[in-house]
Structure 1
Amino acid sequence: MKMRKEIFPELIKAYHEDEVFYRKLYEEEQLRPEEFENFVAGLDREYIKRHELYVPAIHGKWLNYLNENELFKTQEDHIAIQKHYRYSPEYIHEHEFYEIFYVYEGACENTIQNVKYSCSKGDVCILPPKTKHSIAVFDDSIVINIMLKASTFHEVFFDIFTGKNVLSQFFAHILYDKTENNYLLFHTGDDDGIRSLIEDLYMEYNGRVRYFETILKNGVMTLFCLLLRNHENHLESFLNTTHKNLDMLEVLNYFQKNYANITLKSAAEHFNFSVPHFSKLIKENTGQNFIEILKNIRLEKACYALANTDLSIMTICDIIGYPNPEHFSRLFKKEFGMTPGAYRKSRIQS
């Protein structure tokens, strides 16, 4: 059934078939523990496998690390939005993608950093990769999860890092200082703008109408902006930090603005470092060398141009700083497993 905005609350609160399964499983274990083993023995294993359900009594310890391929089935997928299934078993895990969860209705229990938190209606939690956490919903509360590929986050949302705000500083540490176990928790309360935007994002993702991916990317950017505008002073955070030899946020912003004609020598001179020392600092703070960072920025720009413009591949090469189209094509195919032309065609068809 296609969702309409006016009936969204009713539809999102309705129990999905898998939620009914999980609720029954939970009730049997809580109310009749002495009979639970027999109950599990009688479960339909084919149904469980077909629906990809998790039953601890059958599967034992679940995956504690989720890679992007387990969530994003194709290279064209960038953002996934789902309702967290109520009564699904809680388990501590981490993953290589970004996760934002929003408490749409009621409350939920979370474990982050091995510390338990109670989140209430309107809370927005941002979890970067490699943050151990779990979500527990064992009543009629509604939690909506937004998952983003790391590459999509880097490509689409870098503009928000240009300001000196809590998000820019937070993500500068996450992305370029290589720290783990961090989170941001915004308390938005009854902010109708946030609530309405989350509804729109959920409907766009599930409707999957033409251009929905672009709308999703812009929508998540808007979410970040609204959080900063209205709730920067209504947050809790935990940030592991490492020593910093230079302001990597400033350095990466400079790379983003000058990627077409920048060199290691020109960048080092701009920041008043010798070339060897600047190169070493970049590697220590990002885990990548200058050439790798520049290549990633240029290819991200190329992907955007291929998917969103009619510019020729030769013109795109000139714009992003690769004057040799053959060299660009080899790099692109090595990175994405297809030629620039095939990538453009796949984006048009999607």
Structure 2
Amino acid sequence: MDKNLLKQLMELTEEEKSIVQQKQGVIKDIYTSQSNFIIESEKFLRKDKMITVRKHTRFIDFPKHKHNYIEINYVVNGGLKQKVGNDQISLKKGELLFLNQHMEHEIQACDREDIVVNFIIQPPFFQFIFQYLHEENKLTDFLINSLFNHTESGQYLYYKVSDVTEIQDIIGKLLKEEANNSLLSESTMKLYMGLLIIELIKNTDKIQQNEGVLQNQYLVIEALTYIEENYKNGTLNELAEQLHQSVSSLSKNIKKATGYTFKELLQEKRLSKSKNLLETTDLSIKWIIEEVGYDNISYFYRIFKEKYGMTPKAFRSKRLGQKYSN
């Protein structure tokens, strides 16, 4: 770990100073706007960002809570003791813990020397990564569960990787990039996070995990990869043929594993792609509609409005207004 970065992380934040001086409990308004303690990514992450890093607040116990995002706890220095579900876990320096958004945990107060950072990651970030993950493993199983778990069961992965140099180096680069906060930081952090996922997959032998696995994860990964690459013209029939599955069997397996039909997953990808094109290009709305696979303009307008609360034209106008007001 870079000594200057560690020194920076050792400094007390304003929240920590307030806790030390006033000896108060967790100020929930900092973390959530809800009555139940679900920490919201919106409190720390801009809407146009998918990844950020936040230092864990020391000197105070955190009561039971969940997140509406995927969190990675990483111990920079010292340790972190917490109860995750029914399991007591003591993270040591260099170890990390994946928590999906359905996992409840409570954390013991950290001392001054206990430096922990939390990676806050929006679940859709991992949808992009699936096109590069073609093998069954514990991490892809965990990510699928986090993205499509309609039963909302909590899951965690505890990685004992303090001795894996490649992982430690990548995390160090992620922390430096967050501290630099340059114009390219968001793109660079996505790249490093992708590399981190690959290294973690290589080290699945170092995982301790709770129960809760998905069946047929291979088929789900292949379906998500297919949709990512063929969202414009892809069909369930073509996918079934490629996987040597019957259409009905594949359809049932996708629905069972994700809670969504193939058609719903395809539509979600098309809408996400159209939203991105509206935000980042000046292409005509008619061209965008055709590009994402629709030929019925009125139908697209209806489902887009259902998803985002406004028409594509209104969405683009709003984004342009925000752009020129900044």
Fold agreement, TM-score > 0.5: yes
The answer on whether the counterparts of 2:274 and 2:292 sit within 8 Å (CA) in structure 1 is: yes
Quick one: percent identity of the two aligned structures?
26
Q: Out of 11, 16, 32, which is 1:14 matched to?
A: 11
Instruction: Indicate the residue corresponding to 1:341 in structure 2.
Output: 316
Instruction: Indicate the residue corresponding to 2:231 in structure 1.
Output: 259
Q: How far is 1:175 from its partner?
A: 3.4
Instruction: Indicate the residue corresponding to 1:226 in structure 2.
Output: 199
Residue correspondence of structure 1 range 168-317 to structure 2 within 5 A? 168-176=140-148, 178=150, 180-191=153-164, 193-205=166-178, 207-229=180-202, 231-241=203-213, 244=216, 247-271=219-243, 275-276=247-248, 278-306=250-278, 312-317=284-289
Q: How far is 1:108 from its partner?
A: 1.0
Q: Which amino acid aligns with 2:12?
A: Y
Q: Which amino acid aligns with 1:259?
A: Y
- 1:5-40 per-residue CA deviation (whole Å, 9 max, x = no partner) reads 6621111111123213334566xxxxxxxxxxxxx7
Matched, 1:123 2:95: yes
Distance 2:27 2:160 in 1: 37
The answer on whether the counterparts of 1:176 and 1:248 sit within 8 Å (CA) in structure 2 is: no
Q: Which amino acid aligns with 1:114?
A: N
Q: 1:332 to 1:218 in 2, by over 3 A?
A: farther
The answer on whether the counterparts of 2:233 and 2:293 sit within 8 Å (CA) in structure 1 is: yes
Q: How far is 1:170 from its partner?
A: 3.0
TM-score (norm 1): 0.75
The answer on whether the counterparts of 1:127 and 1:182 sit within 8 Å (CA) in structure 2 is: yes
Distance 1:203 1:342 in 2: 36
The answer on whether the counterparts of 1:160 and 1:168 sit within 8 Å (CA) in structure 2 is: no
Distance 1:219 1:252 in 2: 22
Distance 2:31 2:139 in 1: 35
SS at match of 1:220: helix
Please tell me whether Structure 1 or Structure 2 has the larger radius of gyration of its CA atoms: 1
Q: Which amino acid aligns with 2:196?
A: L
Instruction: Indicate the residue corresponding to 2:125 in structure 1.
Output: 152
The answer on whether the counterparts of 2:138 and 2:204 sit within 8 Å (CA) in structure 1 is: yes
SS at match of 2:91: strand
Distance 1:336 1:211 in 2: 27
TM-score (norm 2): 0.80
Residue correspondence of structure 1 range 67-106 to structure 2 within 5 A? 67-72=40-45, 75-106=47-78
Matched, 1:162 2:137: no
Instruction: Indicate the residue corresponding to 1:142 in structure 2.
Output: 115
- 1:301-328 per-residue CA deviation (whole Å, 9 max, x = no partner) reads 3344455666554444333212345544
Q: Out of 17, 29, 39, which is 1:66 matched to?
A: 39
Distance 2:318 2:136 in 1: 35
Of residues 308-317 and 298-307 in structure 1, the stretch that sits farther from structure 2 once superposed is 308-317
Cα RMSD (Å): 3.5
Q: How far is 1:263 from its partner?
A: 2.6
Distance 1:133 1:110 in 2: 7
The answer on whether the counterparts of 1:313 and 1:325 sit within 8 Å (CA) in structure 2 is: no
Distance 2:217 2:97 in 1: 29
The answer on whether the counterparts of 1:113 and 1:131 sit within 8 Å (CA) in structure 2 is: yes
Q: Which amino acid aligns with 1:287?
A: G
Of residues 264-273 and 252-261 in structure 1, the stretch that sits farther from structure 2 once superposed is 264-273
Question: How many corresponding residue pairs?
Answer: 317
Residue correspondence of structure 1 range 311-326 to structure 2 within 5 A? 312-325=284-297
SS at match of 1:92: strand
The answer on whether the counterparts of 2:81 and 2:88 sit within 8 Å (CA) in structure 1 is: yes
The answer on whether the counterparts of 1:80 and 1:146 sit within 8 Å (CA) in structure 2 is: yes
Q: How far is 1:99 from its partner?
A: 0.4
Residue correspondence of structure 1 range 23-62 to structure 2 within 5 A? 23-24=20-21, 52=30
The answer on whether the counterparts of 1:170 and 1:239 sit within 8 Å (CA) in structure 2 is: no
Distance 2:76 2:252 in 1: 46
- 1:209-232 per-residue CA deviation (whole Å, 9 max, x = no partner) reads 323322222221122123234x33
Instruction: Indicate the residue corresponding to 1:59 in structure 2.
Output: none
Q: Which structure 1 segments of 5+ residues have no match?
A: 27-39, 55-61
Q: How far is 1:104 from its partner?
A: 0.6
Of residues 296-305 and 92-101 in structure 1, the stretch that sits farther from structure 2 once superposed is 296-305
